[in-house]
Structure formats: structure tokens, C-alpha cells
Structure 1
Amino acid sequence: MRWMNTAVREIHISSKPGSSYFLRVDWEGRSLASGFRVLLTDGQDAWSGEGEDDPRGEAEELEMTREKYVQDLERALTGAEPPDSYSFSLSPEPAGHSVTLTYEKMQKEISFRLGSALLEAELQPAEVLRQLLLHSLQRGDSLQNQNQKLQEDNQRLRQEQQRICAELKRYAGGKEALEAELYSRFVLVLNEKKAKIRRLQESVSKLNSEEQKSKGSVKSTRSADQDSEEEEDEYGGSTDEEPEEAQSSPSSTPLDDSLRDITDVAPSRKRRFRHLRLQDPGVKRPDAEARQKER
């Protein structure tokens, strides 16, 4: 079987404080659910073996879902969690031709067994160590390349950020300049509108004043014409009354002739004279008759 994924981590055996072992796990697929291979070495000896193909039984014993169990198993064997979260043990002691590697999960003050793998001793541990070193070097080169790529991406993103910041500053400056220009234009247009409104108001006030003056002159003209018409009517009425009075007196007297010769200075005098004549007609007519008799 050709394994697609590989992980290497350092573990410590609980029964051997201060000892260091290197654990290599190879698996195919996205997770350890389809099986995995374990390689353990202390730098002198090496053991290898395969884990269980189906972790369903272990999950049922722990009363865990299969997905949760596989997740904890990956964290324990691949080093995704801190070392203090899991513990490892080897049996029998001392290690012989075959050993059993047991891995447990530490939770607060208790621990529970995740699983175990039966490992057989490798006949050529030096070759195993060489492969382990080669994988470590390849993994280091791969991580270095990834780090270099990430640094380049980071540098590119930093330059892009600087360019965007410069563009934003330029846009902000242009925005402020545009706002200032638009505000000045707005103030200019507003002042022009205000001046135009003032001129229109002055024109309207002037037109209203002229209209009032025109109405006043027309009204005075009409009143003058009306007064003149009333005077003409009064004058015409006084002249119209004279023939009637003339007809009432069949013969003219020297007094009537003298009255006709008086210049008509104003209608008011005629009215006064007519008023006097109408007040005492009997007095004037006998005098006229006496004068006629004397003649």
C-alpha cells in the first residue's frame, strides 16, 4: 500500500521519564478512519505495525461517535494537540521483538484509552532511521518553501496595502478638494440667487409703488373730472331755470333787463340770486308792475 500522508512527532513514554521516541504515522485519504501505519524508534531500535482499519469498535467502547473518535485519534498520533493532552506507554518492559503502543487521552485528572497498535521490530533499524531523516528533511524543505511563498505573498500583500493606502489618501485629498470647490461654487451660486432675489424684490416694490402712485393720480383725475362735471351740471341747471321764469312773466321789466345785463360770474351767485328771487317774488313783481304803470 502506498501511503499518501505522513506525520512525524516526538512522544514521551510515561514509564520512561526523560526518554524520547519518534513516532511516524502514514495514512491514505483524508483521515485515519481507513487505516494507518505506525513506525516507532528510539534512535537505536525501530518497530513498525498497522493500526486498526475500522475504528468503529473502539468508538463504541468509548461511547463516542466515529467522527469524534477519529478526530481525537488524529490529534494524538499526528501532534495536532499539545503533548500534555495525550500519553503513551509501551509493553512489555523492556521492549523486545514485539511491543504494544498504547495511547490515551488526558482529561483533567482522568484518562481514557483511545487505542493501541501492535508493533514488530525492524530488522534494519538504520534504514528506518535513514527514511525518517529523509522524510524530515523533505518535510523541512517543503515547510521552508511554503514559508518562502507565504513571505512573498505577505510582501506582495504589504505592497498592495501600501499602494491602496496611498490611493485612499489621494482619493481623500481629492475628495476634500472637490468638496471645497463644490462648496465655494454653492456659496457663489447662492449669493447670486440672493442678489437676484433682492433685485426682483426691489423691482416688485418699485412697481407696486408706481402702481399706487398711478392709482392715486387716476383717482385724483377722476375726482377732478367728477367735480367739474358737477359744476357743469349746476351751471346748466341754473341757465335752464331762467327761461321758465321768463315764461312765467309775460312782459319784461327794466329790472329784468338790468338783471340780464349782469355778468354771470359764478353759479353760486346765480343760486343766491335765484334763491332771493324765489323767496320774495311778490315784492319784486309789484315793483315791476308799478314801474310799468309809471311809464
Structure 2
Amino acid sequence: MNTAVREIRVSSQPGSSYFLRVDWKGRSLASGFRVLLTDGQDAWRGEVGEATMSGEAAELEMTMEKYIQDLERALTGAGEPDSYSFSLSPEAASGGVTLTYEKMQKEISFRLGSVLLEAELRPAEALRQLLLHSLQRGNGLQNQNQKLQEENQRLRGEQQRICAELQRYAGGKEALEAELYSRFVLVLNEKKAKIRHLQDGLSKLQEARNSDGQKSKSSERSTRSAEEEEDEYGGSTDEEEAPSSPTSTLPSRSSRPDSPLDDSLRDITDVAPSRKRRFRHLGQDPAGKRPVAEARQRERTGPPAGSSKLQTPQRSADAAAAEDLFEDF
């Protein structure tokens, strides 16, 4: 059995105070409840059934769950006190009263329900039961409050202990962080020094490689320049050697304007003795002039390879040509 007691104010009797006790079975008022109302002198008792609540919910066009929720708030005092109002109307025929409870919402009130209360024949007994229930409820609340205080004290001590441990842990954490930071600084400085040393070594190695590369490039350049100079020197000598042989022979021939060979070729009507003299003169004249020209050319450019071999066949070829010409004539 669940019981709730609350003080209510009756709008029809301002300044008066009533005590309302509600008893019900189960977890909610859906199965019905009993009501006891007293002003300290008289008492009235009534009962509301499940069918009555269903009819009132249907009349208000509310769901049963919503209606039960509003009814519990109004009768047990779980809701705001200004949201609900009560009124009493006497019943002359039975000598009882009708308790009506309403819900106020935005200056509009609508009736949640009403219950017919009959006068209690022994109001003192009803008042004593109400006082006993109030005392029991007070004792229960006091015991519960004491338990809650003890639990609160225990939790406060636990909180203090946890705070002390947290402070100790915080101090140890700070000390550990300081120690680790000092070690980290030492390790970091060593790593930095090692990195600087490696960077210095790397820079020196790069400088050495760059210097070696420059030296190799300079040596390659010098080698290439020397080879180019040798190529240029060899090319100049080839160019000088190529025209040297014809220049050495052609001027010797051009320097002989009155050559007997040329005259023999033009004067084909001459007699044989004169041609013999010319041929002898032709064999002597080039042999006397060519060594002088070749000696001068050799002094300037050096002895060309194969010059003596070329000149000897040339003289023999000239003598053979002259002999063939002489035999023809």
C-alpha cells in the first residue's frame, strides 16, 4: 500500500487549511485510490474506482496514461502547487462533501475529477491514523536522511583521500617530468652535436668532391686544349705539306721560262742533234735548280715525308718522256 499526504488550500474557503491523504495499490492510481480529508476536527473519507477514472478521461478526451499522470501530480503534490486547485461543496442529503480538483493552465482551468466524501463517524481515530502515518513517514525520512548523511560523509572522506592522492601523484608527475626533461635535454644536445658533426663532415666531403671535380675538369680542359693545340699544329703542317709539294715543283718549272723541253715540244721541225742537246740541257737544268728549292723549303717546313721519293720518280718520268719523244721524231 502506497500512501501520500499533502496540505491543500480550498478556493471556496480562503484562509483554511486541509490535509489530504491518498492510499493506492500498485505502482500508480490506475487501479483506484482512497481519500481521507480532515481539517483537524472533522474528517471525510471516500473512494474512486477505475471505471470512474476511465469515464473522466474519456470525458476530457485524454489518454488514460496522461490522465493518471495529471491526477497523481494533483493529489500527491508531485506537481507544482499553483498548477492545481481544489474546491469543497457540501452535500445536504448525505451530510458529506464533494472534493473537486482542477488543473489550471494559462488562466484557464478544467476539471480533472471529483470524489464524494462521507463524514467519518470517528474523526479522532482518522486524525490519529493520519498523525501516525505522518510520524512514520517522518521517521522514515529521517532515517533515510541519516543514511544519506553517512553516505555523504563517507564520500567526502573518499574525496579528500582521492584529492590527497591526486596531489601526491601530481607532485610525482611534475618531478618525473622534470627528470625526464633534463634527460631529454641531455640526449637532445648530444644528438644536435652529432648532427652538427655529421653536417660538418658532409660539408667537408662535398667541398672535397667539388674541389676534386674542379681539378678533374681543369685537367680535362688542359688535356683537351693540349690535344686541340696538337691537332691544330698537325693540321697546319698537313696544310703546309699539301701545297708544299706542288709549290716546290711548280715554281721550279715556272722559274724556267726558256726550258729546252718546252721548246722541243713547240719546235717539232728541228733536227735531231738540236733535240739531243735540248734533252741533255733538260736533264741538267732541273737537277741543278731543284736541290736549291728543296733545301729552302726544307729549312722552312722541314723535310716532308716521301718528298725525295716523289721527286726521283718525277725526274725519271720526265727523262723517259723526253726519250720517247726523241725516238718518235
Q: Establish whether TM, by shorter chain, passes 0.5.
A: yes
- Alignment correspondent of 1:284: none
Give the whole-Å Cα distance in 2 for the aligned partners of 1:93 and 1:199.
117
Indicate if the aligned counterparts of 2:83 and 2:105 stay in contact, CA closer than 8 A: yes
Distance 1:241 1:111, change over 3 A: closer
Q: Counterpart of 2:100 in structure 1: which amino acid?
A: T
> Helix, strand or coil: the match of 2:50?
coil
**Identity fraction in percent:** 41
What are the superposed Cα offsets for residues 181-237 of structure 1, whole Å, 9 maximum, x if unpaired?
Answer: 7xx89x959988987886677567546534542342122111122134235546766
Return the TM-score normalized by structure 1. Answer: 0.63
Instruction: Find the partner of 1:107 among 105, 108, 111.
Output: 105
- Alignment correspondent of 2:228: 223
Distance 1:91 1:68, change over 3 A: same
Indicate if the aligned counterparts of 2:248 and 2:294 stay in contact, CA closer than 8 A: no
Indicate if the aligned counterparts of 2:91 and 2:98 stay in contact, CA closer than 8 A: no
Instruction: Find the partner of 1:88 among 63, 86, 89.
Output: 86
Please report how far the alpha carbon of residue 76 of structure 1 lies from its aligned counterpart in structure 2 after TM superposition.
0.5
- Alignment correspondent of 1:138: 140
Aligned length: 259
Unaligned 5+ segments in structure 1 are 271-295
Please report how far the alpha carbon of residue 137 of structure 1 lies from its aligned counterpart in structure 2 after TM superposition.
2.7
- Alignment correspondent of 2:28: 31
- Alignment correspondent of 2:12: 15
Give the whole-Å Cα distance in 1 for the aligned partners of 2:24 and 2:43.
19
Distance 1:42 1:194, change over 3 A: farther
Give the whole-Å Cα distance in 2 for the aligned partners of 1:122 and 1:149.
46
Matched ranges for 1:140-155 at <5 A: 140-143=142-145, 145-146=147-148, 149=151
Give the RMSD, CA atoms, in angstroms.
5.0
Please report how far the alpha carbon of residue 260 of structure 1 lies from its aligned counterpart in structure 2 after TM superposition.
6.8
Return the TM-score normalized by structure 2. Answer: 0.57
> Helix, strand or coil: the match of 2:27?
coil
Please report how far the alpha carbon of residue 152 of structure 1 lies from its aligned counterpart in structure 2 after TM superposition.
5.9
Give the whole-Å Cα distance in 1 for the aligned partners of 2:154 and 2:33.
35
Instruction: Find the partner of 1:72 among 70, 73, 83.
Output: 70
Matched ranges for 1:156-175 at <5 A: none
> Helix, strand or coil: the match of 1:266?
helix
Distance 1:109 1:262, change over 3 A: closer
What are the superposed Cα offsets for residues 34-82 of structure 1, whole Å, 9 maximum, x if unpaired?
Answer: 2222232323443333222242100111222222211211111111222
Give the whole-Å Cα distance in 1 for the aligned partners of 2:205 and 2:85.
96
Give the whole-Å Cα distance in 1 for the aligned partners of 2:225 and 2:67.
115
Larger gyration radius, structure 1 or structure 2: 2
More helix by share: 2
Indicate if the aligned counterparts of 1:23 and 1:39 stay in contact, CA closer than 8 A: yes
Indicate if the aligned counterparts of 2:248 and 2:297 stay in contact, CA closer than 8 A: no
Is 1:50 matched up with 2:47?
Answer: yes
Unaligned 5+ segments in structure 2 are 253-260, 262-281, 305-329
